[in-house]
Amino acid sequence: MGKVVILDHPLIKHKLTFIRDKNTGSKEFRELVKEVSMLMAYEVTRDLPLEDINIETPVAETKSQVIAGKKLGLVPILRAGLGMVDGMLNLLPAAKVGHVGLYRDPETFKPVEYYCKLPQDIEERELIVLDPMLATGGSAVAAIQFLKNKGATNIKLMNLIAASEGLEEVSKAHPDVDIYVAGVDERLNEDAYIIPGLGDAGDRLFGTK
Strands 72-78 and 50-56: what pairing? unpaired
Minimum CB distance to ligand URA, residue 84 (Å): 13
Q: Is 185 a catalytic residue?
A: no
Going by the DSSP 8-state scheme, the letter that residue 177 receives in this structure is -
Query: Min. distance of Cβ 162 from ligand URA in angstroms?
Result: 10
> According to the annotation, is 79 in a ligand binding site?
yes
The catalytically annotated residue of 24, 86, 104, 178 is 104
Per the residue annotation, which of 24, 86, 178, 200 is the catalytic one?
200
Min. distance of Cβ 188 from ligand URA in angstroms? 8
SS3 of the chain: helix, strand, coil, percent, to 5: 35, 35, 35
Reduce the DSSP state of residue 174 to 3 states and report it: coil
CA distances for 21 relative to 15, 27, 84, angstroms: 10, 13, 18
Pairwise CA distance, residues 85 & 68, whole Å: 22
Residue 137 assigned to a binding site: yes
Q: Is 203 a catalytic residue?
A: yes
Considering 24, 86, 178, 203, which one is annotated as catalytic?
203
What is the Cα–Cα distance from 121 to 124, expressed in whole angstroms? 6
Please say which residue, 158 or 201, places its beta carbon nearer to ligand URA. Answer: 201
Consult the annotation and say whether 183 binds a ligand: no
The answer to whether residue 108 is catalytic is yes
Residues that bind ligand URA (CB under 6 A): 80, 133, 135, 193-194, 197, 200-202
C-beta closer to ligand URA: residue 4 or 91: 4
Give the chain's length: 209
Angle at 38 between CA 154 and CA 55, to 5 degrees: 80
Residue 26, marked binder: no
Say whether 138 counts as a known binding-site residue: yes
Nearest residue (CB) to ligand URA, 76 versus 202 = 202
Is 30 exposed, middle or buried, given 0-12, 13-18 or 19+ CB atoms closer than 10 A? buried
The SS3 of residue 166 is: helix
Which residues are documented as binding site for uracil?
194, 199-201
Which residues are documented as binding site for 5-phospho-alpha-D-ribose 1-diphosphate?
79, 104, 131-139, 200
Which residues are documented as binding site?
79, 104, 131-139, 194, 199-201
Q: Which sequence positions are flagged as catalytic?
A: 104, 108, 200, 203
